[in-house]
Chains A and B, each alone.
Chain A
Amino acid sequence: MVERALVPYARLAWAWCRALAQYPVSLVLLTLAQLGATGVELLALLFVFGHVDALAGFTLHEALLVYGLTGTAFWLADLLMGSVERLGEHIRTGSFDTMLVRPVSPLVQLATDEFSPRRLGKNVPSAVALATALGALDIDWTPGRAAMLVVLVVSGTAICCALWVLGACVQFFVTEARELANALTYGGSALSEYPLAIYGHGVARAATFLVPLAFISYQPALYLLDRPDPLGMWPHLRYASPVVAVLLCALAAAAWRTGLRHYRSTGS
């Protein structure tokens, strides 16, 4: 795993960074553009709280915690794995064939394709939101809870990475399915930027058991805030994020292998 995936990942990502660093002006401009794109979402949340004091029982800072956790996990996953959404395009143009004849996992090649630190720009608003929330909220910081914060962010990131890969795998079978994949990834993250409780029971259940978005930020936030679930779902779910992350990653890996086995290239 380390030898076959992480080391080549780091080498390729670094090689791409160096190649793209030759255009510093465009790097800065694009970073700012990405920052602006996600900053608007944060402004929308703040705008809502200009009119109400709480959303489904969540105060501004509590909602910022949820937003910050989602944004951090999702945009870190976007940085690490976001490029896999272009699988269908690579299949259609034949460049996926060329990835298959190189001695590095095609998933790693796909994920590092045009890897650029500019995507970190998208992380800035959610990092600010997370820092603000953690500073303002009255959280009972034990060493265990602090360590758990790291585990939860890593789990959330892993869940989002798995969603990116699952979305890409659909494109093995329907190469035009990028929009469908985006509905899963971008749609999922947009949904979980707000506390799930505001959507009611139906959506919250779907986002827990069907597509496990609840484990990216909602359940972790309940754990950090140490408060009961306003929807009354099973209280132990808040500890489940790491387990869900492992299961979802295993599912994504299996889907990827299945897709590769059924890969049929293109005629010509």
Chain B
Amino acid sequence: MTSVPLTTPVIDARGLGRDFTRVSGPLLRRRRERVNAVHDVTFSVAPGEIIGYLGPNGAGKSTTMKMLTGILSPSHGRVRVCGLEPSRQRTLLAGRIGVVFGQRTTLWWDLPLRDSLALTRHLYRVPAADHAARLAELTELLELGPFLATPVRQLSLGQRMRGDLTAALLHAPELLVLDEPTIGLDVVSKSAIREFLLRLNTEQGTTILLTTHDLGDVERLCRRVVVIDHGSLAFDGDLARLRATAPTPRTLVVDLAGPADPIEVAGARTVRVEGPRQWLELSANPAEVIAAVAGAHSVADLTLREPDIEDVVARLYSSGRAAAGAPRREDPVSG
């Protein structure tokens, strides 16, 4: 099991946990309740990896990101990021990582983007020449040119996100931590940001840790994913293995000539009926099932849908909970 790491990890979390006390009820009869937002999370990230940190709402993803960046101190366990202890060496660490929270901005609402970025330069003490060179490079890659002079409050969400990414990268960090970087963006903006992140990773070797609910992000960017559920680690391994761990059947969508009773054929189970359209979960070879369906019904159209990551993760959550919440873990795949 123990393997000697060839390189020191960028992130090394061992038994990481965080509790919150939640106060509720009327003033006089307040009840204090301990919430275990993150519980015994262990994982490590090697330089140059892109890791997807996945889980349903309230799983503890943002709380983990906050512990990794030093915003919150852990209640249990220990963590090293770039060899530093985030909560104690927060300021030192901040100069070596870039952080973007998709839900909030690091830019200043009232200032034009260019001025916001200039202020960022002063915060990170980037020499003027380096700043100019890096800004020119990022302006080209992220196509910031048309709105550099626009006040941040007037930027669209996609433009603002590109501005935030620039602000997080001007000091050339080793590690980029992204909490839902594509939230609310349209397809074009999402794909622009994905391609940019891939380039950053391959050309400059920047390690990237991102949380997302967008499975397009995961499929395009992450070879390895870490899944947490109810604060505990549920999976750590590569994407293909996640699919294998929680095998998810393909779905056959059948459009019949008219409304009918649920189709009954061998090798498939009808899971949903809506008028003439029916969804069949396949457990046998699709070709045989299609032949059987076409033989017994008059079919207008057929579509075979591959399971996407969303189904896989959902299945992992439900099976994980069924197995008495025992977290299943795989050895990290060195990337």
Contact = CB atoms under 8 A, between A and B. Distances in A.
Given A98-B101, A103-B92, A15 B73 contact: no
A102 B72 contact: no
B69 to A, nearest CB: 5
B95 interface: yes
Interface residues of B, number: 29
Contacts of A94: 101, 103-104
A97 interface: yes
A100 B99 CA distance: 10
Contacts of B106: 98, 102
B97 interface: yes
A169 B12 CA distance: 33
Interface string B68-112: 011111000000000000000011101101010101111000110
A46 interface: no
B282 interface: no
B104 A101 contact: no
Main secondary structure of the interface of B (DSSP, over half): mixed
B85 to A, nearest CB: 14
Interface stretch (A65-73, A196-204, A215-223, A260-268): A260-268
Interface residues on A, range: 20 to 34
A93 B104 contact: yes
A93 B99 CA distance: 17
B69 A15 contact: no
B104 A97 contact: yes
A59 interface: no
Interface of A: 8, 11-12, 15-16, 19, 93-95, 97-98, 100-105, 109, 114, 261, 263-265, 267-268
The 8 closest A-B pairs by CB, nearest first: A103-B95, A103-B94, A94-B104, A101-B99, A98-B106, A19-B115, A15-B122, A100-B71
Interface of B: 20, 62, 66, 69-73, 90-92, 94-95, 97, 99, 101, 103-106, 110-111, 115, 118-119, 122-125
